[in-house]
Amino acid sequence: MLLAYVDESGNSGDPLRGATATYTLGCLLMDADAWPDAFDRFVDFRRRLGRQFGIRMRDEVKANYLLHDKGALRALALSRGQRREIYERHMRLAERLPAQAFAIVIVKARHRDDGPDGIVRRSWTYLAQRLEHACRENSDTLMIIHDEGENDEVRRVLRRARRVMWAGSVHDHDPRYLRLPRLRLVDDPVPRKSHHSYFTQMADLVAYAGYRHAIPPREGAVCPQAMWGTLGQAIRREVNSLAGNSDGVVVG
């Protein structure tokens, strides 16, 4: 069985009313059989961070906290360079777990008629299409664990994906839709508080790094555009290989 940890960056609201211009999902994908060893590696990793930076095992490490020196990290008075190093170390850890990572970046200006629920549906539909391919590739089933938030809409999208899924053509001039195999999902997606899961926290870091890969930040940012590349072999390039990018970040 495959495990997919998912978290979002940004929000689904209207940019004209102060919401973010994009809505991004980050996904960390791994084989369930590898989970016990991956968890032990993550625990060892967090212990090393604790010895060097003072981060406690229970402290939540998310993109927003590293970017803006918030949460439990604020009391540590970490420099910008230290927070950038912590971010990069998480990215480099992914391939050693081992896990694969990809991101879905929805540019809201392209979908003005969607509304907040429609943006969530669109992003999770794109995610489900890529996860279906991973299941088919590995002849496997899937369990999804995601950060709490849009629980009802996420559950609706994925329940539908268990019955039927469609994908549009990658060619702009081709209006046809392809019927995909059903998503081999084990039960409903599992919402979980991110501070209870190191893997969900990493999915959050993947989400923001994917967003900044697609939309570069200012010079000197904690998470620069190049941060995405530090995932190395963990990048799941298949998610957008048909579109000609193969960088693991789907922009829609």
Query: Would you list the domain boundaries of the chain?
Result: 2-123+198-251
pLDDT in tens, 22-33: 999 999 999 999
Mean pLDDT of 186-207: 96
Pairing of strands 142-147, 2-10: parallel
Mean pLDDT of 186-204: 95
**So what's the pLDDT on residue 231?**
98
Lowest-confidence pick of 122-136, 168-182, 214-228: 168-182
**So what's the pLDDT on residue 241?**
84
Mean pLDDT of 225-250: 93
**So what's the pLDDT on residue 179?**
66
pLDDT in tens, 42-75: 999 999 999 999 999 999 999 999 999 999 999 9
Assigned token pair, 8: 């979002």
**22-31, strands of its sheet edge to edge:** 190-192, 142-147, 2-10, 22-31, 100-107, 249-251
Mean pLDDT, rounded, of the chain: 92
Gap between the Cα atoms of 149 and 151, Å rounded: 5
Mean pLDDT of 218-247: 93
Residue 170: is its pLDDT beyond 70?
Answer: no
Mean pLDDT of 187-211: 96
Cβ–Cβ under 8 Å, residues 91 and 45: no
Write the CB contacts of 27 (distance below 8 Å, at least 6 apart in sequence). 4, 5, 6, 101, 102, 103, 104, 127, 130, 131, 203, 206
Q: How confident is the model at residue 18 (pLDDT cuts 50, 70, 90)?
A: confident
Cβ–Cβ under 8 Å, residues 240 and 250: yes
> What are the C-alpha distances in Å from 100 to residues 3, 27, 73, 176?
11, 8, 27, 30
Gap between the Cα atoms of 100 and 117, Å rounded: 28
User: What are the residue ranges of helices labelled H in the chain?
Assistant: 35-53, 63-68, 80-93, 115-138, 151-163, 198-214
pTM: 0.93
Q: How confident is the model at residue 243 (pLDDT cuts 50, 70, 90)?
A: confident
Of 215 and 182, which is predicted with more confidence?
215
Residue 228: is its pLDDT beyond 70?
Answer: yes
Nearest to 249 by CA among 26, 11, 90: 26
DSSP 26: E
